[in-house]
């Protein structure tokens, strides 16, 4: 049974929580402005169209026609002009302050505990862990593997169509993680909605984003840059695990 859900993906990082909070905060002002505009619109419609067109009695019709003559002489109001200049400016300031704070948090450069590289190809992702060669006493290649889509005919019961991969990324929780993103052919985009991350993978360039996973789970994403005929078939799967499980994963790849 599938449920129809309206809204964002369940957040797994502080950045995504901040994005959802900012959305709700701005939406409050949008609703406030919408209510005000509708109130003014229907007030004008009622006073200057409905009552004049369908007067309840002759006295009201005569009164409103006199009002119409009076309002025709109306040219400007300093109070109204101050109101519609100052109030939007205040609203913009109230929106700008949390927006700038969130942008600063998203671009903050931290000292990562884990670094991995995501490399886009037509049409799959490959991943590289390169932090662990210095911790063993022998020459060691980086941990590199490809992550390919599992086709619908090979899916197991309960697995997601067009989202399941053969080799998911495994990352630890409660640590600062740096993701280095690049491409070997065309521009891709590494996007995981639950992380609040969407970063272009550009050939010949290294982009980086930081994530801090607050809970364990399996999180899905997709390439969000139109990269060719199989653009819709290069999903991203991230498995957030405890530190012990992450160590076991790394040791299994090194051994």
pLDDT tier for residue 139 given thresholds of 50, 70 and 90: low
Q: Which CATH number fits domain 114-254: 2.60.40.420, 1.10.760.10, 3.30.470.20, 2.30.42.10?
A: 2.60.40.420
Model confidence pLDDT, tens digit, residues 29-59: 899 889 988 988 887 777 766 666 666 554 4
pLDDT of residue 59: 45
- Pair of tokens at residue 187: 């521009």
State the angle between helix axes of 14-45 and 78-107 in degrees (0 to 180), rounded to the nearest 10. 160
Contacts of 171 (CB under 8 A, 6+ apart): 114, 116, 177, 211, 213, 238, 239, 240, 241, 246
Q: Which residue has the higher pLDDT, 63 or 84?
A: 84
Parallel/antiparallel/unpaired status of strands 188-192 and 235-241: unpaired
For the chain, the average pLDDT equals 84
- Pair of tokens at residue 61: 């019709």
Q: Which residue has the higher pLDDT, 77 or 172?
A: 172
Q: Could you tell me the pTM of the whole model?
A: 0.79
CB-CB contact of 12 with 194 (8 Å): yes
Measured CA to CA, the distance from residue 118 to residue 4 in angstroms comes to 31
Measured CA to CA, the distance from residue 18 to residue 178 in angstroms comes to 19
- Chain length of the chain: 255
Model confidence pLDDT, tens digit, residues 184-237: 999 999 999 999 999 999 999 999 999 999 999 999 999 999 988 999 899 999
């Amino acid at each position: 049974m599938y449920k129809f859900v309206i809204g964002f993906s369940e957040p797994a990082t502080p950045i995504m929580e901040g994005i959802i909070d900012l959305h709700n905060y701005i939406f409050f002002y949008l609703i406030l402005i919408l209510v005000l505009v509708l109130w003014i619109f229907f007030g004008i419609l009622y006073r200057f169209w409905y009552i004049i067109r369908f007067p309840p009695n002759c006295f009201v019709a005569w009164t409103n026609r006199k009002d119409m003559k009076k309002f025709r002489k109306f040219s400007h109001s300093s109070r109204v002009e101050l109101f519609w200049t100052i109030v939007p400016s205040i609203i913009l300031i109230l929106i700008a302050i949390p927006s700038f704070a969130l942008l600063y948090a998203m671009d903050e450069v931290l000292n990562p505990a884990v670094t991995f590289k995501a490399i886009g190809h037509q049409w799959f992702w490959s991943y590289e862990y390169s932090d662990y060669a210095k911790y063993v006493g022998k020459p060691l290649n980086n941990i590199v593997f490809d992550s390919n889509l599992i086709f619908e005919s090979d899916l197991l019961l309960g697995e997601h169509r067009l989202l399941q991969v053969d080799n998911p990324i495994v990352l630890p929780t409660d640590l600062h993680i740096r993701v280095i993103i690049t491409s070997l052919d065309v521009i891709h985009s590494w996007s995981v909605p639950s992380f609040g991350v969407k970063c272009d993978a550009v050939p010949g360039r290294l982009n980086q984003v930081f994530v801090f996973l607050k809970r364990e789970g399996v999180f899905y994403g997709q390439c969000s840059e139109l990269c060719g005929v199989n653009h819709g078939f290069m999903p991203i799967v991230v498995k957030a695990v405890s530190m012990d499980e992450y160590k076991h994963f790394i040791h299994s790849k090194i051994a």
